[in-house]
Amino acid sequence: MGFVRKGYKSMFGIIDIGSNTIRLNIYRMDGDTPVLLMSKKDSTGLASFIHKKRMTEEGIDRASAVLSDFHGLLKILDVEGHAFATAALRNVENSEEAVDQIMRASGLQIEVISGETEAELDFVGATRGMKLSTGLLVDIGGASTELVVYKEQKIVKAFSMPVGSLSMYDQYVKNLLPTKKERQSIEQAVLAAMASDEDFFAGRYKKIDGICGVGGTIRASCKLNNDMFGLQPDNHVINAPNIKKILKKLETPEGADHISTEKMDLLLRVVPDRIRTVLPGMIILQTVIKYFKSKMIHVSYMGVREGYLYKKVLGQGEEE
């Protein structure tokens, strides 16, 4: 049975309030398939506005301004809007207060989803975009990383770690690109976050060959992979050892006071909107690859936003 029926709206705006970016996607439902009509994003960097575990007024104002613009666009287009927030707003001590201020300023209703729910929605979205049988789903956000172990198209384990590309950059990287020592510090933070979970601490899922990667960090990693290894731009598969090779090539030498023109040119040409965060994000990815001894990453272009549309808005879900 398709989603579109008599009297049922077929266009939806999904707003993802992430730690690195705030994005609005507008979809038209073609039967049970979402067709992306428009995508707008703002590199708000909400995770950078957290001070002493609280979202600052500057961060609240920044989010409110972006969301007010998005809400205005949805009203002009007469499209039903749904907004959700992830790690940057769920993990702060003033989460309820900050979200309430943003909702009143922007006119939007905002659902703050848990880390486990985010992981589950990633899986729901990704399963609609590609066939997933058995493996590991990884979504590296600005302030959290979601891991989903799945078997025979069912979730076995969903776990959210409080480490992300922007938060790791802010905490550990002094200049623009990380050094080897900074990379090692990020790796240790990721391993410590994984060890906080009983299953991962016990090594119950130690060898998973295939990773399904979703989200902006992994899409940016794929762009770098395709460019640096001479692959076609529409290639969506990364040979896992390539991540380590890219990191070694782009890391800053210890004691260097400048970044080579070659490295800057590459990043500005391939991933201009993720210059600060792509390498910390790839360090998280490499740590996960090493832990699970993974061999291949299949990049999905559907994830949490599509999962939210399917499960939260349209009432469909992974259990089906």
- Answer yes or no: is pLDDT of 1 > 50: no
Q: What is the pLDDT of residue 135?
A: 95
pLDDT at 9: 60
Whether the CB-CB separation of 311 and 124 falls below 8 Å is answered with: yes
Indicate the angle between helix axes 165-172 and 278-292, nearest 10 degrees.
110
* Beta-strand pair 22-30/11-17: antiparallel
Given a cut of 60, whether residue 159 has pLDDT beyond it is yes
For the chain, give the number of residues: 320
Judge if 11-112 and 116-299 fold alike in CATH terms: yes
Options 3.30.110.40, 3.30.420.150, 2.40.110.10, 3.40.30.10; which CATH number does 116-299 get? 3.30.420.150
Q: Over the stretch 170-209, which tens digit does the pLDDT of each residue have?
A: 999 998 999 999 999 999 999 999 999 999 999 999 899 9
Q: What is the pTM of this model?
A: 0.90
Task: Return all residues near 313 (Cβ < 8 A) that are at least 6 apart.
Answer: 12, 14, 82
Per residue in 241-283, pLDDT tens?
999 999 999 999 988 778 889 999 999 999 999 999 999 999 9
Residue 320: per-residue pLDDT: 45
Which residues have C-beta within 8 Å of that of residue 49, sequence separation ≥ 6? 55, 56, 58, 59, 60, 62, 88
Distance, CA of 221 to CA of 108 (rounded, Å) = 32
CATH architecture of the region 11-112: 2-Layer Sandwich (3.30)
Q: What percent of the chain has pLDDT over 90?
A: 86
The domain limits of the chain are: 11-112, 116-299
**pLDDT confidence of 3, banded at 50, 70, 90?**
very low
Q: Where are the alpha helices (DSSP H) in the chain?
A: 57-77, 87-90, 95-106, 115-129, 165-172, 180-195, 198-201, 216-228, 241-250, 261-270, 278-292, 304-308
**Beta-bridge partners for 14:** 25, 82
Amino acid letter at 125? Answer: G
Of 214, 212, 168, 207, nearest to 187 (Cα)?
168
